[in-house]
Structure 1
Amino acid sequence: MPSVSGRNPGAPRGFAVVDLEATGSSSHRHRVVELAVVLLDRDLEPQGEFTTLVDPQGPVGPTHIHGIEPEHLGGAPRFAGIAGRLLALLSGRVLVGHNVGCDRAFLVAEYARIGVRLPDVPELCTMRLAAERGPAPYGLSLRACAAAVGITDWRPHAALGDARATATLFAHLAPGVRDLPALLALAGGLRWPEPSGVLAAADALWMRRGNEPARRSVPNVRHWGA
């Protein structure tokens, strides 16, 4: 497995808020079937949205949760086809998610399958941040934490909808994070894999789910760099 080296560190770019839907709960046995990234700058201002369905090369898993049927995946890229572009979106940024450890585990596993090792990306979990603010009367799910700060108008269990809600929730919670500058600096100093070999071999078009609102989303993405 190649080491994480080659792409030069630079100034911190901000935050990458991620969410994914998967074919099951195990990052070792199951696959990503949809993912989304919402980019925020260092001041928590939106910079862009990126989402795609992903061909898991097998069963789609719990359709009753994520709403994705096998027929929705016609033309969807495999993870290897989007891996390089996704690295470009994540590099230099703090990884943010609701239960971010789960999202990270799936990303690490997907990259490992194509022989790429992710760096030790600094991360922030909105579930943990919400818990630190005090007892949550309705639990720590994304829906409950979002509703507690007035975020109610989105579609749960669609990757882009959840990533948007998580990004908005993070903007509410981030002022209480004391080591935010240090995490940003750490993210900016990491070295990432170069876009070569398997990362450069395939650069597939990203394909969002057909019923996802197009507002502020980028349905088809090519080229390196955010």
Structure 2
Amino acid sequence: MLPGRSQGSYGYAVVDLEATGSSSHRHRVVELAVLLLDPDLVPQGEFTTLIDPQGPVGPTHIHGIEPEHLSGAPRFSAIAARLLALLRGRVLVGHNVGCDRAFLVAEYARLGLRLPAVPEVCTMRIAAAAGGGPAPYGLSLRARAAAIGLTDWSPHTALGDARATAALLAHHAPQLPGLSELLATAAGLRWPEPSDLPAAADGLWVRRSNDSARRTVPNVRHGHA
């Protein structure tokens, strides 16, 4: 652990989101999940919520979210401060992480905030480097999860995808160089500390009705994040 850093704010933030479309500039986040891991990849907690995109929900045939599912869901602005606290000091991890980052950057830009250049780990790029080609599995998250024997999960839900991505990271981590350097860089970054964002109450977070909580990966509202 780095001097002066608490274990609770140092490690990895595995992120996945569902959106109303493919353009981070024109479309909005409609569901978000963050799974926190310590530097040894031990799960610390998870955060997930549906988000009111203030417009059409987009491709329901992909993400399964209907307008009525968003009743009571917060806007992004209501969870933005809490999300900053979750991400601060951590390496950002995702499957095609550049896409997730682009949507987060765009959402914060709408609030007048600029995210720092966070160190990243992309499990899709890791799979490509490891020789994960079109056959027999391919590079999609579903394909890479199947390649490591992970089948009991919920694709195209933010929490299901984040959990699968965390499993991929754990599978490949022993062969990945430079993780310690990424952790050190992430721990030293300066993050915005806005005073004008609402402090989101945990009660605002709205999970999908079919998301199963894991006792071994408690939601951050009950954990130590």
Amino acid at match of 1:87: L
Q: Distance in 2 between matches of 1:188 and 1:42?
A: 11
Is this contact kept in 1: 2:128–2:139, CA < 8 A? Answer: yes
* Residue number in structure 2 paired with 1:163: 162
Is this contact kept in 1: 2:45–2:220, CA < 8 A? Answer: no
* Residue number in structure 2 paired with 1:95: 92
Matches within 5 A, 1:1-226: 10=5, 13-136=10-133, 137=135, 138-198=137-197, 201-204=198-201, 205-216=204-215, 221=221, 226=225
Is this contact kept in 2: 1:122–1:186, CA < 8 A? Answer: yes
Q: Distance in 1 between matches of 2:149 and 2:220?
A: 31
Q: Distance in 2 between matches of 1:114 and 1:103?
A: 17
Amino acid at match of 2:148: V
* Residue number in structure 2 paired with 1:4: none
Secondary structure of 2:80's counterpart equals: helix
Secondary structure of 2:35's counterpart equals: strand
Structure 1 gaps of 5+ residues are: 1-8
Amino acid at match of 2:163: R
Amino acid at match of 1:215: R
The superposition leaves residues 18-72 of structure 1 with CA deviations (integer Å, 9 ceiling, x where unpaired) of 0000000000000000000011100011111110000000000000000000000
Amino acid at match of 2:209: G
TM normalised by structure 1 equals: 0.90
Q: CA RMSD in A?
A: 1.9
Amino acid at match of 1:36: A
Q: Which moved more, 1:125-134 or 1:201-210?
A: 201-210
1:213 deviation in Å?
Answer: 1.3
Amino acid at match of 1:184: L
- Percent identity reads 74
Secondary structure of 2:17's counterpart equals: strand
Q: Which moved more, 1:12-21 or 1:31-40?
A: 12-21
Q: Distance in 2 between matches of 1:155 and 1:165?
A: 9
Q: Distance in 2 between matches of 1:220 and 1:40?
A: 12
The superposition leaves residues 144-183 of structure 1 with CA deviations (integer Å, 9 ceiling, x where unpaired) of 1111111111010000000000001110111221111100
The superposition leaves residues 106-126 of structure 1 with CA deviations (integer Å, 9 ceiling, x where unpaired) of 000000000111010000100
Inter-CA distance 218–68: structure 2 relative to 1 (3 Å threshold): farther
Secondary structure of 2:78's counterpart equals: helix
Q: Distance in 2 between matches of 1:39 and 1:220?
A: 9
Amino acid at match of 1:128: R
Secondary structure of 2:206's counterpart equals: coil
